[in-house]
Chains A and B, each alone.
Chain A
Amino acid sequence: MALTPSPVLRLIGAAFTHPGGSGVTGLDLTVEAGTALALIGPNGAGKSTLLRGVLGLVPLTAGTMELGSVEVRGADGASGPPVPKHTRNGMIGFLPQSSELDPDFPISLEQVVMQGRYRRLGLLRWPGRADRVAVRRALETVGLTSLAKRRFGELSGGQRQRGLLARALAGEPRLLLLDEPFNGLDQTNRDALVDTLRALKLQGVAVVVSTHDLELAKEVCDLVALVNGTQLAFGPVDEVLTLGNVQECFDGVEVELDEHTLVVPGHEGH
């Protein structure tokens, strides 16, 4: 590929801490254009906190975060969320867990996808032709063109998830953050999502995806970061996803790796 490696996201000794005190620390990782990073760890390990921190929703309390050419430094003991200025330039797309959204809200899929353009539009401008084109293209990418006028809440869980991916794509991001995108997806929707992510990588989009599905990490991602309150390991998939590392990360939880279901010691040991 003709893409010169350029870091889209780099964390150096970074920590993101909620005002309540919980958070994730010791983050040292780099994601380049056209590559994908899987954040792996058990529930409550701080994967979502990391993604929200990159978005500017959780304060950076230590270390440095570089987003493209923008550098953000964490103030020690900073209180309150920083103004997420760095997200305004339209480089980040975010796919939240769709269960957070109200299914009764009277809004069509198309209108949800258009929200992905708001960051580019700013407060006062209304969507124009270019925005409608981007929305149509994003819907084509995820294969939901025929459902554009449907109410968002009427869609199936998998379709909603793809719709939210389309919203993230409509902003034409350089960095795409996905929070547990494969949760509760059937095989069809899962395959569609995997294909879309692969296509995006080819277009040079950097992807960070939090998941506890190790197989998916292997299918889509080049890099893995193991996280459980702090960063335990970071590197290429083959090097990091070793039994020892995974055992350390998932202490006493059942995981699937290489078609074997492992019950990690700690579960049996007690």
Chain B
Amino acid sequence: MAWRSNSTSTRWWYQGTKATDADIGICDPGVGEWGPMTLVDALFGAFALPFMARALIVMLVLAVVAGVVGVLVNLRGLEFISDGLTHAVFPGLAIGLAVGGTAGLVPGAAVAALAAAVVLTWLDRAGITSDAAIAIVLTAMFSVGVIVVSRGDEYASELEALLFGRVLTIPPESVVPLILVCLVAVVAVVVTMKQQLLRAFDRSGSRAVGDSALVLDLVLNAAVALVVVAAASTVGTLLVLALLIVPGAVARLMTERLWWLFPAAAGFAALMAWLGLALGFAGSVAGGVDLPAGSTIVAAFVAGYGIVLLGRWIADRRLATKAGVPQPAGTAAR
């Protein structure tokens, strides 16, 4: 038998009864049936399959993005803008898909991201800080997307694909463009990194140095938009959001040293993506539990965040008892 990813859904595809070596690759357990899958098979063997390898490569690239762009999103407090962009891109993807099929995904997302970036920047500049107003706009965008998708025949699978992407069916030819776009975003942020950090730490200090707030914001927002557009069509809008936000938040819990934030976030994202993919594979193929890949990865991210949060809480408590002074969790313990 062979494990292939379904071309239209995100699900693991269990097919046939007899496997060829090419289908299984080094996963071949040497027995007629897979039987109980070993840990090694799930964690390493599975990635010999081309679609699994592609998924892992894309996720590792995005982990680097999470490590650079995501940490800045956290330090600048841009979670809401990122959320806004991903929500706004959703109807763009849906309309693009409805108009031009899969080829319409990226143009649709790009147009929507551009429009959203302009609107969100305008809201910000106009001093409209009402969360309610922004939330209403975003909810409206999201429902437009759902309405567009629901007009199609395969409503459920389309919706899931747009939200959680097609991690397992990333076409080989779209891997390189994705990497290039991510590279552009990462380079743009790295080049302006010290100014971005100064602006995150001290807004008026940044302006006093002579940095243009508009330019810095545009560079960072554009980087976020690029990543969202590039990745939303392959890994889905919610997974992009998780990648941009969760690793940065985890890194903040793990270290208070500025330059450690970036490897910490990237490392966390890479580890969780890998574990999520392996878990989804093991669950679906050997466990008989159909685990969608994209949402399994998101679940791994959130679980990882929970574990780190708990660890941080315990560490804070220990330090507090050692010092003999009760300290609230999350504050710096010396």
A residues apposed to B, CB below 8 Å = 52, 55-57, 81, 83-85, 87-88, 92, 94, 96, 100-102, 104-108, 111-112, 115, 118-119, 121, 123-124, 126-127, 151, 153-154
Residues of B within 8 A of A151 (CB): 256, 332
* 18 pairs, A vs B, C-beta closer than 8 Å: A55-B208, A56-B207, A56-B208, A83-B212, A84-B208, A96-B204, A104-B331, A106-B255, A106-B256, A107-B197, A118-B194, A118-B195, A118-B198, A123-B211, A126-B194, A151-B256, A151-B332, A154-B332
Residues of A within 8 A of B210 (CB): 56, 83-85, 87-88, 119
Residues of B within 8 A of A153 (CB): 332
Residues of B within 8 A of A102 (CB): 201
Residues of B within 8 A of A100 (CB): 202, 204
Q: Do the beta carbons of A115 and B258 come within 8 Å of each other?
A: no
Residues of A within 8 A of B261 (CB): 106
CA distance A85 to B208 in the complex (A): 10
Residues of B within 8 A of A112 (CB): 201
**Nearest chain-A residue to B257 (Cβ)?**
A106
Is B174 located at the chain interface by the 8 A CB criterion? no
Interface residues of B in 121-173 (CB under 8 A from A): none
Q: Do the beta carbons of B194 and A101 come within 8 Å of each other?
A: no
Residues of A within 8 A of B308 (CB): none
Interface residues of B in 190-207 (CB under 8 A from A): 191-192, 194-195, 197-198, 200-202, 204-205, 207
CA distance A139 to B301 in the complex (A): 41
**Nearest chain-B residue to A120 (Cβ)?**
B209
Q: Do the beta carbons of B207 and A84 come within 8 Å of each other?
A: yes
Residues of B within 8 A of A123 (CB): 191-192, 195, 211
Q: Do the beta carbons of A106 and B195 come within 8 Å of each other?
A: no
Cβ of B125 to closest chain A Cβ, rounded Å: 11
CA distance A94 to B257 in the complex (A): 25
Q: Do the beta carbons of B258 and A106 come within 8 Å of each other?
A: yes
Q: Looking at the complex, which one of A106, A115, A127 makes contact with B202 (CB distance below 8 Å)? A: A115
CA distance A43 to B204 in the complex (A): 20
Cβ of A93 to closest chain B Cβ, rounded Å: 9
Residues of B within 8 A of A52 (CB): 204
